[in-house]
Structure 1
């Protein structure tokens, strides 16, 4: 294992220390710990981050500057001349092998703004949902009637227009969910994916079911999108998530950096009540434009995730870290937070 921790600036090093972060609550404490444990951020990218955040005196100030960094360097606008830094040379320490075997990837996408959007109106958003929610096998067909093809084509076109950022796409492998898409969509996939992928922010409104879509695309499609991109700086199609690629969160836990170019992130399983028997690999992919064929199922997230207390979050993270420490050569990774 590579023990290359981030060289944070003195102000950030101070705020990341557990005695300083712990009194601010579990969320802040866990987010700070992530910066202490991160091994996949290069010195060059760390220097850039330190310079952007500059001098901050409180965790709130740090979080605000972190969000600004993400907007400027990671979650870049589609019309920005450069790609997300996640796929640039400065992030090479976190890049995955370019020649990964082609296979299917899964994403869980919220459709809340699309289905209820006043801009789209019932002619597209609601019409798409009403047509396909009760006939989901049609989503997985290669060809539908001209009217249905027009409807789902218009829906996806409008969705792509509303995706104004060319941000990295978090994804997992279908093979880690059984590898059988027809069987998977018969399960309670909205809650299963939400929990396995550690998406604690869904549903965002308690008591209101969140409409979601199951997205499935291939590694080859990602490689093709990167090669066709006109933005500057893209040298990689895939990378592992780091603390500089996402919002500060207690649900994100860095993974040890392993040698070999296949060192993925590992998601925090919100529903697991014991030591993880296996981890779910997670990666970032170069952004692609969605096509109708990528939408494989529709559903709702209607119940809260299991980690509803600070104690539950901390316990789940500690069990996750304990199991990470059991990986070969990773005994010194992270900390069990009391």
Structure 2
């Protein structure tokens, strides 16, 4: 993307290498990003200002996300990810309707009033050992009331209308009932590159599997008529997420189906295929969206800077193997 002179200097590999592997990888992401428009880049450059150090840049980046991307529900404008200024990253609006998967950490809820409340505790006790019931569109009597009350409180806790990272059920076999019988918490954590969820056996991370449709996303956007959103789906860019060594921007492909491609934490070779990732316009969860509950109880494989850098380089080599992408990015020696 086009960077201002101060950011261009900080984003150089020579400058970023001095700050360590994480900063080096994050800086490379800005050099490689192809899906940020000049208009949005100018806005970002103006927000960051004349930063002179990587730590200062990281602080301004977080501020930008809070102001333009991870906006509050009562904010007068939608997240910039879905505004016209981000049109280079937008996906086709008429994508065929299909099912999306999203992995949600419940850790914040455990530490909040929700899972500590009678409703949260009763929900977990009722459904963790009877998860087939979660996959029923409608339950009877008290069970449906419990599920609905839990989801209503969860939606209340979701104070931001931030973009929702998701992937396609079809890329995980297409059969939800079969998928939930697998080790889906670790599979999704690894396939989606969620390095910030490195849970250990001593402290398992509770997670929920959410499933919703593209049509539901489109309906949610169309229902919000006064916030300026022009797209329901977008690919993730460096301006839509925290600075991260685990995020690698994908080449911008033609045709309106240029998804993000996540870094597989468990892959030990150059990937022959990639897990697609997209941002969806935020929706309120419905009881039927919760399909399974589980725990992440073991750490992922990328626990050292060397492991992270090697995995990223393998991923980049795979991206360079895509049609017309031979010159994309760079392998960081």
Change (3 A) 1:326 1:181: same
**d(CA) in 2 for partners of 1:70, 1:231:** 21
Among residues 48, 52, 72, which one is paired with 1:53 in the alignment? 48
The runs of 5 or more residues in structure 1 that have no matched partner are 1-5
Partner SS, residue 189 of structure 2: helix
2:109 aligns with one of 110, 114, 117: 114
Asked if residue 177 in structure 1 is aligned to residue 172 in structure 2, the reply is yes
The residue matched to 2:126 in structure 1 has which SS? helix
- 2:192 pairs with 1:197: yes
**Residues 105, 174 of structure 1: 8 Å contact kept:** yes
- The structure 1 residue matched to 2:278, chosen from 283, 287, 292, is 283
Structure 2: gaps (5+ residues): none
Tell me, yes or no, if the aligned pair for 1:115 and 1:126 is still in contact at 8 Å.
no
**Matches of 2:115 and 2:327 in 1, distance apart?**
52
Match of 1:163 among 144, 151, 158: 158
Q: For each residue in 1:18-73, what CA deviation from the matched residue of structure 2 results, as whole angstroms up to 9, or x when unmatched? A: 00001111000000000000000000000000000001010000000000000000
Q: CA deviation at 1:232?
A: 1.6
Does the CA contact (< 8 Å) of 1:88 and 1:236 recur in 2?
A: yes
TM-score (norm 1): 0.97
Answer yes or no: is the 8 Å Cα contact 1:117–1:125 preserved in 2.
no
Give 3-state SS (helix, strand or coil) of 1:24's partner: coil
The answer to whether the 8 Å contact 1:203/1:209 transfers is no
Q: How big is each residue's C-alpha offset from its partner over 1:270-299, in whole Å with a ceiling of 9 and x where there is no partner?
A: 000111121001000000000000000000
- Residues 1:21 and 2:16 are matched in the alignment: yes
Higher mean displacement: 93-102 or 228-237: 228-237
Pairing partner for 1:268 from 260, 263, 270: 263
Aligned counterparts, 1:21-100, within 5 A: 21-100=16-95
Distance 1:300 1:218 in 2: 24
TM-score, scaled relative to structure 2: 0.98
Matched residues, number = 333
Which of 211, 215, 224 is the aligned partner of 2:219? 224
Q: CA deviation at 1:204?
A: 5.8
Query: How many angstroms does 1:206 deviate by?
Result: 7.5
Q: What is the match of residue 297 of structure 2? A: 302
From 243, 250, 269, the equivalent of 1:255 is 250
What is the CA-CA distance between 1:113 and the residue it aligns to?
2.5
Offset at residue 231 of structure 1 (A): 3.9
The residue aligned with 1:3 is none
CA RMSD of aligned residues (A): 1.1
1:146 to partner: Cα distance: 1.0
Which stretch has the larger CA shift, 92-101 or 202-211? 202-211
SS of structure 1 residue aligned to 2:75? coil
Shift of 1:312: 0.4
Aligned to 1:326: 321
User: Alpha-carbon deviation of 1:142?
Assistant: 2.2
